Structure 1
C-alpha cells in the first residue's frame, strides 16, 4: 500500500481526495491535515510515502510547507493548483522548492470525479521517484556556469537541439538551459509534458531570466532562430517545418500520443526531418515511453542522443525506455548534460 498524506483547508476536498485515492485499492490515506503547519508535523510523525497538498491554506501555505518538508525529510509531493496565471506561478514555485508534480485543483464535485484517474496515476508514479534528487538539484542550482563552445559552423548550417521531459522536468531544465551560451549555433526545442494553461509560459519566463539564451513559449508559425529555446505550449503538440529555407514552428491541437500532449515523439517526427544528422536530443525525466521511438529515428539519421542517468533522474521511466530501445548514444548525469550538448555541437559544426 502507498501510504499517503492529504493536505487541504477544505473539508470537502480532504474527504473527496481521500475517497478517490482509497478507491484505487493500493493507496492508503494514513492522515489528513488542514494547513501547512499540520502537514509538516504529520509528515515527520507519520512518514507518508506521498503527500498530496493544496497551495493556498491558512497558518502556513503549501509553498512554505513544501520547503520545510524538503529541508528535513524529503517526501514526494503532488500539489493541487489552479491553471490560472497566479496558480501557474504558484505551481512553478512549488516545483522549484521540491514538489515533484501538480494536478489541476478541482472546483466542484463534477471536476473531482474527472480528477480521480489523474490523481491516482500521479501518486503511483511519484511513489517510485527519488525526492532526494530534487534536493540535489536545488543544492546544485545554476550559479552562472555558462559553457562556451568553440564554434566553426558554416554560415548556413542548420542545427537543432531537442529536450524532452515530464515529471521532475522543470527542476531538471534549470540545470541545463541556463548553462547554454547565448551564441549557440542552434535552435533549442523543449517538450515538457504539461496540461493546457499558463504553466509553460511561466516556465519560459523563469528560464529566460536565468539564461543567456532567449527562452520563450513557442508560437504558431513563428520563424525559428539560433540562440532561442522554444517551449511547447501545454496541451498542444509542437512541430518544426522547413520551406523555402525558412524553418518555422507549427502548434497543433491534435490527439494525445502516449496519453500526453505535447508529446516528445510528435515533435521528433518533424524535428529529425528538418535537422537530420545535425540533430541533438536529450531525454531527462518522467514516466512512460514518450521519446523512445523518436530518439531511435534521430540515432538512425546519424543525429546524437543523450539520456539522463538514473542516479540523477527524478523518475527514470522515459530515459530507461529510450536506453532499452537502443536509442541513446550517451548516458550522463543531469549536471554533465550541458557540456555534452556543447561537445556534440562542436563536433557537428567542425565536421561540416
Structure 2
C-alpha cells in the first residue's frame, strides 16, 4: 500500500484529491495539510511514502517545502502546478531540485475539473511509491548485458566525413537529468541534438530557457520548419511530436499533433523513427530516466538502419528505470552510463568519427 499525504491550501482541492486517489487499491491517503509548515509536521508524524504538494501556498510555499522534504526525509514529491507562466517556471525549479514529477491543474488553483488529470496523478503516485520500495528493499541490480549484441553492431564502418545527429528521449526525472547532461556538451559539437521530454504544452519552453542559461551549447524549443544545426539542442514542444527530414538544405524539423501508438505527445518513438530514415547520417540514440517503454520501438528501427551508437542511463542514476530498462532488456543498448557520464559518451561518439 502506498501511503500519501495531500498538501494544498484549498480545502476543496484537498478533498478532491483525497477522494479519487484511494479509488486505486494500491493507494491510501493518510492525511492532508494546508501549507508547508503543517505538511512537515504531518510528514514527521504520519511517515507517508509519497507527498502531493501544491506549489502556491501561504505560510511556506511549495518550493521551500519541497527543499525541506528532500533535505530531511528524501521522499518522492509530486508537484501540483498551475498553468500560469510563473507556475511553469517554478515547476521547472522544483523538478531540477529533485521533485519526482508534476501534474497541472486543468483550470487554475481551484480546478472543478480536476478529474481530467486523475489518471495522470494516480499513475505518478504509484510510480513514486514503487520507486521508493525498489530503493529501500533491494540494492540496485546491474542491468544484464544485451542479449542480441551480435545484431546491434554497426552495419558498416562510418566514414570520417559522415555527418552525425544525436537524439535523446526521457520522461519522469528528465528535467533534472538533462541538467546533468546538456550543460556538459561542447558548444562546437558537430551534430544537432534533438530531445523529447514528456511534458505538457507550455513547460518545455521554460525547460529550454533554463538549460540554455546553464549551457555553452545553444538550447531552444524546436519550431516547425526550422533547420537543425550542429552545436544546437532542440527540445520538442509539449503537445507536439517532433521529427526530422533531410532536404536539399540540410535537416529540417517538423512538428505535428498526430496520435502515436505510445500515446505520448511528444513521442520518443516518433522522433527516433524519423532519425532512422537518415541513411547517410551516423546516429547517437540515448534513452534516459522515465516511466514506460517509449523509445524502445524507435531504437529498434534505428538499429535496423545501422550506423548508430545506443546509450541508456543506468539504473543507479535513474529516477524511474522504466524506459532505459525496456531498451536494455530488449538487447538494444551498446553502452549503459550513469547520468553524469552520458554527455561524455555522446561527445566521444560524435568526435571519434569526425576527426
Displacement after TM superposition at 1:95 (Å): 0.8
Whole-angstrom distance in 2 between the partners of 1:176 and 1:347: 19
Matched residue of 1:17: which SS? helix
TM-score (normalizing by structure 1): 0.90
Whole-angstrom distance in 1 between the partners of 2:101 and 2:308: 31
1:100 and 2:100 are equivalent in the alignment: yes
**Structure 2 counterparts to residues 1-352 of structure 1, below 5 A:** 1-107=1-107, 110-129=112-131, 154=161, 157-196=162-201, 198-274=202-278, 278-300=282-304, 301-350=306-355
Where relative contact order (Cα < 8 A, 6+ residues apart) is larger, the structure is: 2
Q: Which runs of 5+ in 1 are unaligned?
A: 134-151
Displacement after TM superposition at 1:19 (Å): 0.4
Displacement after TM superposition at 1:277 (Å): 5.4
Displacement after TM superposition at 1:87 (Å): 1.3
Question: For each residue in 1:233-283, what CA deviation from the matched residue of structure 2 results, as whole angstroms up to 9, or x when unmatched?
Answer: 001100101111421100101114312110100001111212665100111
**8 Å Cα contact 2:165/2:281 also seen in 1:** no
Q: Which runs of 5+ in 2 are unaligned?
A: 136-158
Runs of 4 or more consecutive aligned structure 1 residues displaced over 6 Å after TM superposition:
none
**8 Å Cα contact 1:180/1:212 also seen in 2:** yes
Displacement after TM superposition at 1:212 (Å): 0.9
Displacement after TM superposition at 1:102 (Å): 0.6
In structure 2, relative to structure 1, the CA distance for the partners of 1:32 and 1:86 (3 Å cut) is same
Matched residue of 1:311: which SS? coil
**8 Å Cα contact 1:130/1:315 also seen in 2:** no
Displacement after TM superposition at 1:170 (Å): 0.2
**8 Å Cα contact 1:238/1:266 also seen in 2:** yes
Aligned residue pairs total 329
Matched residue of 2:163: which SS? coil
Whole-angstrom distance in 1 between the partners of 2:134 and 2:94: 15
TM-score (normalizing by structure 2): 0.89
